[in-house]
Structure 1
Amino acid sequence: MPQWKINLIVLWFGQFLTLAGMTMIMPFLSLYLQSDFGLRDEHEIAEWTGIIFAGNFVTAFLFQPIWGRLADRHGRKVMLLRSGFGMATVTVLMGFATEPWHLLALRLLNGTISGFNPAAVALVSATTPKEKMGFAMGVIQSGLIAGTVMGPLMGGAFADQFGFRPIFYITGGLLFCASLLALFLVREKFDREKAAAAPQISVLQGWKALRGIRPLMVLLSVTFLIQFSLMNTQSLIPLFVQELHGTANLAFWSGTVGAVTGISNMLAAPLLGRLSDRIGAHRVLGFSLAGAGIMFIPQAFVGAVWQLLAARFLLGLFLGGLVPSVNALIRRHTPEGMESRAYSFNSSMLSLGNMAGPVFGGLTSSLLGIKGLFLLSAVLLMLNSALVAHTSFTKATARPS
């Protein structure tokens, strides 16, 4: 088997284990604060939950470009292992926290050392043949989504069986296993002497160098708007399900609504990635953005949970073409030797969308309601599609042979 396929398979499992581990506890964070930390006031629980959840993304947004710069100098595999083993240690320590601020401090530290996903994407992009890039990006995305879907389901089952604290130890173990797989099986041809001889530029200088490449700036904007559009309704979905269905089996139906989007995303990502190898990633990206925008519209007018499930399933099919296409296009338009830096800037924009989306949705929900937010997401995604359509992605950035 070619090494690029081995890397892809191992990093698929790495993405799955990492995301499954990281999403095992986050959906139950408010319950953890209530049961293990003795918080009783609902307002206080909500405040701590929001702050602790956002803390990871704040430091990730700030530090991803720094790790990207180091990856371009020392290799992607080194950064992958640094992140994996580091997050495994921090996650286990979360299980020993006794105060909410302990969790906040550890989440901030976790965001500081995180970066498994961008390092994995950069490593796959650097070792995969050009003609297989779309397929590889679709496969790696499906591993991420599979972990995101399975994590909360596994976390709920473990919490019922063992309580909340053991989930952190299980999560840390999964992250450690993912890192071990990468350590022993992933191979990277990285010329350290060439990288060391290349001019060393700061994060700010790297940003200035990439800023002049218009397709890259468009892709970073697309990443932010995608995540913003998806996250501004995320925390309100359980309340919307309650409005449609009532309180009977509310947790089950809320979880199902979230899972069904991830399942269809996971199924569609490799197929759309393979299609992008044939017709171009920019075409798949524009089509998927428009389709996702259209699929947000019926969600504003559903009258039953099964209708919402159907709309969310169709939404996931189009979401499967977004991140893989963006990643493939970033690889195409990034100068040689700056790939990790470009992916780290993209990861920062992802974190920014993860922060800004829920905050905006929470602040405007009383004014727009979740139905209004669905329509706003539809407009933003379709504007995104128009932006992609009016950007030239056909000419790749020149690369040394």
Structure 2
Amino acid sequence: MEKTSWKRNLYILMVCQFFVMAAMTMIIPFLPLYLQELGVTDSQSVSRWSGIIFGANFLTAFLFSPLWGKLADKHGRKMMLLRSGFGMAIVITLTGFATGPWSLLLLRLLNGMISGFIPAAVALISMSTPKRQVGYALGLLQAGAVAGGICGPLFGGVMADFMGFRMIFYITGITILVAAFVVLFFVKENFEKKETRVKTNTMQDFKKIASTSPLMALFLVFFVVQCALIGINPLLSLYVQELTQAQNLAFYAGLAMSVMGLANMSASPLLGRVSDKKGAHYVLLGALIFAAVITLPQAFVQSYWQLIAFRFLLGLCLGGLLPSINSLIRHLAPEGMESRTFGFSNSFMYLGTMLGPILGGWLASFAGIRSLFIASAILLLLNVMIVKIKVVPVMKRKMSENVNS
């Protein structure tokens, strides 16, 4: 690969991730309203179907992610980007033609099965970027995705008012289709297939990857981070309602989420450079400690603007969490199994994303919303212990060996 081609890929995929994430997040906030348009009118039924349909996407993504990782190691990461991009463009467009909750559920399951554009982009960039600059590259890549996640709901809200819900699905499909064509024509990958005589199944792949210390610890950290932080999001609007008497509650709830994304986007490239210089394990450890310290006081805030300040600080921590985890996975993955390693990592991420809101809702139902922040802080402190004991010593030893050699 040319010396600068990884930079071209990075900038192209950063823009593509912005549009893909913006397109996908356009529709998430309006799924309950779309269900009402499809004929589900009872409030309890809307809540029940919304939870099921939201989780369905992550269930199939969790199940199929290792398969796509294995195919990426065989056929290339660009192929997985194209599979996901064109596949999601078709499925999300068809979602605009749903006739009822069951057809919508089926399409969400199918979308989760073929999804994975952003994980595939992470795998491609991490493999094509020089190791000394992986942290910076993954930080930029995350900044693009987070920016899309911030803008998507805003775009979707405006379009829903003017065009209706179904049109959002059509526009989303077209946007992802354009991103897929950009990848097809402009992203370059010099993929060299590594022939292996030994055929392995998914369980054998997982055992080999999990035995590579400390990958299993990083998978667990990924799962807990998603569980701890995503579990709060669905109920954040209720907490905002408790803290403010403002009429435009939706705006204030959206701001509480967006301010965290803005901080995340701002911090990701900077913390990525720090991880390249000082070590991704140190950035991960520091970000986890800071995240735990910032999360706990959110349980005791008395005003909305206190919550906003803490959510912004938490967003800064997130800018160092996910890129540093992915950077460490890139450095530790067994040779020839890099995409499979990312595949299993993504499965743990999807599992945390799926279980977090379920467990968060269960906890809040009997202990109150404020208990979520206390539980989240405890989980993050547990992650600090895992990283301190399992990850940091191994990475310090590897860095020392590299210096000596």
The TM-score with structure 2 as length reference comes to 0.95
1:368 CA displacement? 2.0
Q: Which residue of 2 aligns with 1:95?
A: 96
How many pairs does the alignment contain?
A: 396
- Retained in 2: the 8 A contact 1:87–1:113? yes
Find out whether 1:157 has 2:158 as its counterpart.
Answer: yes
- Retained in 2: the 8 A contact 1:276–1:325? yes
Q: Which residue of 1 aligns with 2:84?
A: 83
Find out whether 1:145 has 2:149 as its counterpart.
Answer: no
CA distance in 2, matches of 1:219, 1:264: 24
Q: Which residue of 2 aligns with 1:348?
A: 347
Q: Which residue of 1 aligns with 2:177?
A: 176
1:174 CA displacement? 1.1
- Bigger Cα displacement from structure 2, 59-68 vs 362-371: 362-371
Identity %: 52
Q: Which residue of 1 aligns with 2:286?
A: 287
1:396 CA displacement? 4.9
Find out whether 1:107 has 2:108 as its counterpart.
Answer: yes
- Bigger Cα displacement from structure 2, 265-274 vs 384-393: 384-393
CA distance in 1, matches of 2:58, 2:226: 13
Which aligned pairs between 1:253-332 and structure 2 lie closer than 5 A? 253-332=252-331
Which aligned pairs between 1:35-74 and structure 2 lie closer than 5 A? 36-74=37-75
- Retained in 1: the 8 A contact 2:299–2:374? yes
Find out whether 1:337 has 2:336 as its counterpart.
Answer: yes
- Bigger Cα displacement from structure 2, 380-389 vs 342-351: 380-389
Q: Which residue of 1 aligns with 2:11?
A: 9
1:87 CA displacement? 0.4
1:331-390 Cα distance to aligned partner (Å, 9 max, x none): 110111111101111111111011111100111112221211101111111221121111
- Retained in 2: the 8 A contact 1:61–1:351? yes
Q: Which residue of 2 aligns with 1:380?
A: 379
Q: Which residue of 1 aligns with 2:129?
A: 128
Which aligned pairs between 1:15-34 and structure 2 lie closer than 5 A? 15-34=17-36
- Retained in 2: the 8 A contact 1:289–1:318? yes
Q: Secondary structure at the match of 1:390?
A: helix
Q: Which amino acid aligns with 2:39?
A: G
1:213 CA displacement? 1.3
CA distance in 1, matches of 2:317, 2:180: 31
1:200 CA displacement? 3.3
CA distance in 2, matches of 1:126, 1:199: 23
**Structure 1 residues 249 and 110: CA distance shift in structure 2, 3 A:** same
1:197 CA displacement? 4.3
1:40 CA displacement? 1.5
Q: Which runs of 5+ in 2 are unaligned?
A: none
CA distance in 1, matches of 2:204, 2:384: 30
Q: Which residue of 2 aligns with 1:394?
A: 396
Q: Which amino acid aligns with 1:5?
A: K
- Retained in 1: the 8 A contact 2:363–2:371? no
- Bigger Cα displacement from structure 2, 238-247 vs 161-170: 238-247
1:247 CA displacement? 5.0
CA distance in 2, matches of 1:39, 1:116: 31
CA distance in 1, matches of 2:140, 2:197: 32
Q: Secondary structure at the match of 2:98?
A: coil
1:395 CA displacement? 4.5
CA distance in 2, matches of 1:319, 1:5: 24
- Retained in 2: the 8 A contact 1:228–1:354? yes
Q: Which residue of 2 aligns with 1:369?
A: 368
1:257-313 Cα distance to aligned partner (Å, 9 max, x none): 010000000000110000001100000000000111111112111111111111100
Q: Secondary structure at the match of 2:188?
A: coil
- Retained in 2: the 8 A contact 1:333–1:396? no
Q: Which runs of 5+ in 1 are unaligned?
A: none
The TM-score with structure 1 as length reference comes to 0.96
1:196 CA displacement? 3.3
**Structure 1 residues 203 and 395: CA distance shift in structure 2, 3 A:** farther
